[in-house]
Amino acid sequence: MKRREFLGKTIVGSAGIAIGTSGLLMSSCKGANDKIVLALIGAGGRGVPTIINCCRVNTGVEIKTICDVDDNRSSAAAAEVEKQLGYKPATSRYMKEIMDDRDIDAVWIATPDHWHALATIWACQAGKDVYVEKTPSLCIWEGRKMIEAAKRHKQIIQAGYQNRSGAYIAKARDFIQSGKLGQVIHIRIFNLLPGTKWMPEPDSDAPSTIDWNEWLGPAPSRPYNRGAQTGWYYYYAYNPGALNDAGHQLDLIRMLMGNPGHPKSVYGWGGNFVFNSERETPESQAITYDFEKFTVTVDSCNATNYMAKASQEIRMDPTKFPEWKTNADKVEIYGTEAMMFMGRTGGGWQVYGPGEQMIALEGGIHPDAEHQKNFIECLRNRKQPNSDMEQAHMSAALVHFGNIAYRSGNKQLLIDSQKEQFIGDDVANKFLKTDYRDNYIVPEKV
């Protein structure tokens, strides 16, 4: 009997899930030859190629359904799957249909960020495992609810922090922890990307091909706006802004430093001072985290057009390294004896000592395929994946802490790590949890 047949719960409308005998639900292991059936939720430029590649690098994995509120996206994605994998999946506008389908073992969530938590929780309640892209949550409170849902319903959640599956990053961690850099005292994260002036578009009628209400989901109600749909990363209601991208580096350095807990404090500054864009999320941000024995800074900007991420050629060739001076998303790790340049999702690392002498290096490639293999392996053996929800939440919290410091007045905030709250700052604490629309509420009890 398939494990889906043990479900004692059903979806009740697009609003949520009525939980029946979820306490009795036990996820069974699947053997190496058992087929794993996936559904994609969010058929954009990230979700489509990654789920297709997941089917390529793993055996016995197929895509049954593509779910997107935009019919044009879902039909294009289904056509691309047919072109690449030789079969055409079904399409749907509504997550309810995905959660109701007992043939689907796991969902691949690549929606805008405001849907990540609720979609993940619904999937766990429906007995489905989850791959969810970064940033996994839109606020601190959501991350905790996602952890609780995974534990209660005994489901696997792999977050899209791919560096956790990078062999070259694991070697960098071992190098640092061996003491060869000396004592690490400071880490610099760069997120210096190109940018242009961004202005909002006027509201209009939604195209007939889009269910705008479902696109909004948990987010506040507003008229259809093409600028919001295509530029959702400029609105805090849908995305953490530019720090969303820096989340990869923040997760990477947590892995390198042995997965420390929350920092003691965060200082944040930001604003739209270059193009004077009318975006909610700032063009420029500078964040400082106090981890007591070392500090971490993030320099983020959408105006440095001479900086660039490592090319795909470099990221997929272990013999090549970025030009560090103009590498847009590098990490610099400063020890008392030497310092390390680190590439994100490919690019390897190099260590320099006194006199600019290179004393160690390691090539590395983008670990997307390894991350996808790890996810499917964990669906079969029920072990925790490389980027489990506990560690993903801790890394996502750094993104949220930095944004809250900016949004509450460009100031320093002291953090109560046990309560996951700010000490003595009611304004900042209001940002720990977002508001939800009726029928799309992330529940207190998951």
Q: In this predicted structure, what is the pLDDT of residue 266? A: 98
Mean pLDDT of 37-66: 98
Average pLDDT over residues 278-284: 95
Using DSSP bridges, classify how beta strands 295-301 and 184-192 pair: parallel, antiparallel or unpaired.
parallel
| pLDDT attached to residue 32 | 67
pLDDT at residue 293, as a whole number:
97
Q: Is there a cis peptide before residue 135, judged by omega within 30 degrees of 0?
A: yes
CB 39 within 8 A of CB 66: yes
Is 27's pLDDT higher than 70?
no
Report the DSSP beta bridge partners of residue 289: 266, 296
Encode pLDDT of 52-69 as tens digits: 999 999 999 999 999 999
**pLDDT cut 70: percent of the chain above it:** 93
Grade residue 10 by pLDDT with cuts at 50, 70 and 90. Answer: very low
Residue 359 has pLDDT above 60, yes or no: yes
Give per-residue pLDDT as tens, 150-162: 999 999 999 999 9
- Taking the CB of residue 280, how many other CB atoms lie within 10 A of it? 15
| φ, ψ at 124 (rounded to 5°) | -60, -45
pLDDT of 145 above 90? yes
Average pLDDT in the 316-345 region? Answer: 98
Q: CB atoms < 10 A from the CB of 433, how many? A: 15
Name residues whose C-beta falls within 8 Å of residue 392's C-beta, 6 or more positions apart in sequence. 134, 136, 143, 157, 159, 161, 251
pLDDT at residue number 30: 72
**83 Cβ contact partners less than 8 Å away, ≥ 6 residues apart:** none
The stretch 308-333 carries a mean pLDDT of: 97
Per the DSSP assignment, residues forming a β-bridge with 92 are 67
Tell me what pLDDT residue 292 has: 97
The H or E element containing residue 100 is helix 95-100
- Contact yes or no for 286/411 (Cβ under 8 A): no
The residue ranges of DSSP E strands in 23-115, in sequence order, are: 36-41, 61-67, 90-92, 106-109
The helix (H) or strand (E) run that includes residue 332 is strand 331-335
The amino acid occupying position 269 is W
Report pLDDT for 259.
Answer: 98
Residue 101 has pLDDT above 60, yes or no: yes
Q: What is the DSSP string of 382-403?
A: -PPPTT-HHHHHHHHHHHHHHH
Q: Distance between alpha carbon 305 and the CA centroid of its chain, in Å?
A: 25
Is the pLDDT at 212 greater than 80? The verdict is: yes
pLDDT beyond 90 at 4:
no
Would you say 98 and 41 are in contact if contact means Cβ atoms under 8 Å apart? yes
Local confidence band at 29 (pLDDT 50, 70, 90 cut-offs): low
φ/ψ bin of 217: left (φ > 0), alpha (ψ from -120 to 50), beta (otherwise): left
Instruction: In whole angstroms, give the CA distance from residue 164 to residue 169.
Output: 8
Task: Tell me what the pLDDT averaged over the chain comes to.
Answer: 93
Report the candidate in 80, 84, 132, 82 with the shortest Cα–Cα distance to residue 106: 132
pLDDT value of residue 304? 95
Q: Give all domains of the chain, ordered by start, each with its CATH number.
A: 3-163+370-388 (3.40.50.720)
Q: How far is residue 308 CA from its own chain's centroid?
A: 21
Mean pLDDT of 275-287: 95
388-395 average pLDDT score: 98
Q: pLDDT-derived band of residue 388, with 50, 70 and 90 as boundaries?
A: very high
Q: What are 312's two structure tokens?
A: 């795909």
Q: What values do phi and psi take at 434, rounded to 5?
A: -95, 165
The pairing of strands 129-132 and 157-159 is parallel
Q: Given pLDDT bands bounded at 50, 70 and 90, which one contains residue 22?
A: very low
